[in-house]
């Protein structure tokens, strides 16, 4: 456990405290994709970078876009500006982005032979630009709020790597799962090893909390979810650095459309589970609230509503969680690009204002 003297003590640690179910003054709040396309200043910086991956790989600009939402809003955490597909990119699959179509790979995987050839990337070499960004952001934050590091889950990364991009049917990855499970398990195992190295390197570089995004876990059957997604997230949780700089490094697991498996996710050893908006937070707390913290879970589209309706929804979710620690307020998924930044501000301020009564 190394105490790094160049890091200033945290002025606002309510996000870290809430993840560890310790008392806070108000419910902490941050937004998935808070540094993103809904902000005009983000669009300007991205235009300056040229394209999305150039923005991720430019330390100064990745730091700038991470800080942009914090200048606008009293958020309780910053999240590293990066992409979940950095690991597959570092494995040599040729990541590129088609305008309006999302990420694609030049060399998708289709066989055991493809999987066997894949390297496990060194996070300080092939992914050094991510660690440079973490160090720069942590320095720039100067102890204002904690920094969240993250990765995609092995199943989610494998989905993109086998499908070659986005998919609506998941036909190729499920074909591999059910007709050549040995190949998929080897891929998931390599990815889990890569994610452990990657997230631990982020902690060493300055990340104070970690999040694993299992975007596509919810497309699996319960048995397949446990076999192909949860099992590898559990392996990751077991391999992570959980204490650094004299304090715990909390880990949040988020499976989109995974509300039916909350108990199983909570049993992995993680500190918090992320909820999308399809699960009632009162129900989630009754099921897992004495084991883990809960992050979530307003529908991002609620930010299109009038100000009063947004406040009402925040109040409803806060009342659903009720009194006590262990709630980090967030949207149930990333903020949409067409949201008015003013509405995001109403949401964030409402969380702080309306939650104080639950923390007396």
Tell me if 225 sits within 8 A of 156, measured CB to CB. Answer: no
* 7 labeled binding residue: no
Backbone torsion region of residue 143, taken as left when φ is above 0, otherwise alpha when ψ lies between -120 and 50, otherwise beta: left
User: 185: annotated binding-site residue?
Assistant: no
Q: Which of 195, 93, 80 is nearest to 131 (CA)?
A: 80
Q: Give yes or no: 83 in active site.
A: yes
76 is catalytic: no
153 and 213 Cβ atoms separated by less than 8 Å = yes
Which pair of tokens denotes residue 277? Answer: 């908006």
Q: Of 37, 135, 231, 247, which one is the catalytic site residue?
A: 37
Say if residue 315 carries a ligand binding annotation: no
Of 38, 42, 73, 160, the catalytic one is 160
User: Is residue 34 marked as binding?
Assistant: yes
Is 129 an active-site residue?
no
Q: ∠ CA 343-347-351 to the nearest 5 degrees?
A: 165
Residues 76, 83, 132, 276: which is the catalytic one?
83
Active-site pick, 14, 21, 46, 138: 46
35 is annotated as contributing to ligand binding: yes
316 is in an annotated binding site: no
Active site residue 160: yes
What is the bridge-based pairing of β-strands 251-255 and 247-248? unpaired
Spot the catalytic one: 14, 21, 33, 138.
Answer: 33
Whether 309 is catalytic is no
Q: Write down the H helix ranges in the chain.
A: 14-19, 40-49, 52-57, 59-72, 86-90, 112-117, 128-141, 154-163, 171-179, 181-205, 222-225, 231-239, 262-266, 281-288, 307-321, 341-355
Residue 33, marked binder: yes
327 is in an annotated binding site: no
Q: Is 37 annotated as a binding residue?
A: yes
Please enumerate, by residue number, every residue annotated as part of a binding site: 33-37, 83, 160, 215, 333
Please enumerate, by residue number, every residue annotated as part of a binding site for substrate: 33-37, 83, 160, 215, 333
Would you name the residues annotated as active-site residues? 33, 37, 46, 83, 160
């Amino acid at each position: 456990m190394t105490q790094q003297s160049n890091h200033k003590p945290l002025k606002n640690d309510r996000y870290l405290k809430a993840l560890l179910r310790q008392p806070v003054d108000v419910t902490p709040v941050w937004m998935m994709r808070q540094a993103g396309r809904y902000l005009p200043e983000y669009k300007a910086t991205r235009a300056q970078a040229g394209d999305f991956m150039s923005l991720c790989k430019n330390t100064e600009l990745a730091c700038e876009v991470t800080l942009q939402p914090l200048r606008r809003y009293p958020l309780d955490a910053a999240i590293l500006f990066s992409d979940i597909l950095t690991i597959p990119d570092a494995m040599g699959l040729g990541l590129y982005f088609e305008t309006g179509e999302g990420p694609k790979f030049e060399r998708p995987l289709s066989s055991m032979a493809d999987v066997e050839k894949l390297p496990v990337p060194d996070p300080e070499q092939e992914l050094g630009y991510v660690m440079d960004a973490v160090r720069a952001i942590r320095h720039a934050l100067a102890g204002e709020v904690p920094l969240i590091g993250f990765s995609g889950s092995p199943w989610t990364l494998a989905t993109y790597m086998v499908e070659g991009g986005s998919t609506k049917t998941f036909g190729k990855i499920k074909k591999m799962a059910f007709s050549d499970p040995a190949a998929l398990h080897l891929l998931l195992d390599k990815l889990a090893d890569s994610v452990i190295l990657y997230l631990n390197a982020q902690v060493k570089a300055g990340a104070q909390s970690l999040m694993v995004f299992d975007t596509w876990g919810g497309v699996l059957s319960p048995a397949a979810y446990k076999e192909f997604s949860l099992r590898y997230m559990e392996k990751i949780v077991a391999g992570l650095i959980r204490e650094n700089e004299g304090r715990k490094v909390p880990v949040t697991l988020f499976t989109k459309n995974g509300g039916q498996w909350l108990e199983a996710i909570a049993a992995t050893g993680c500190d918090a589970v992320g909820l999308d908006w399809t699960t009632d937070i009162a129900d989630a707390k009754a099921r897992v609230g004495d084991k883990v913290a809960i992050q979530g879970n307003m529908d991002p589209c609620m930010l299109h509503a009038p100000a009063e309706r947004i406040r009402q929804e925040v109040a409803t979710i806060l009342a659903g969680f009720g009194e006590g620690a262990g709630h980090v307020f967030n949207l149930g998924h990333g903020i949409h690009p067409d949201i008015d930044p003013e509405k995001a501000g109403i949401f964030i301020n409402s969380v702080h204002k309306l939650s104080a009564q639950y923390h007396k």
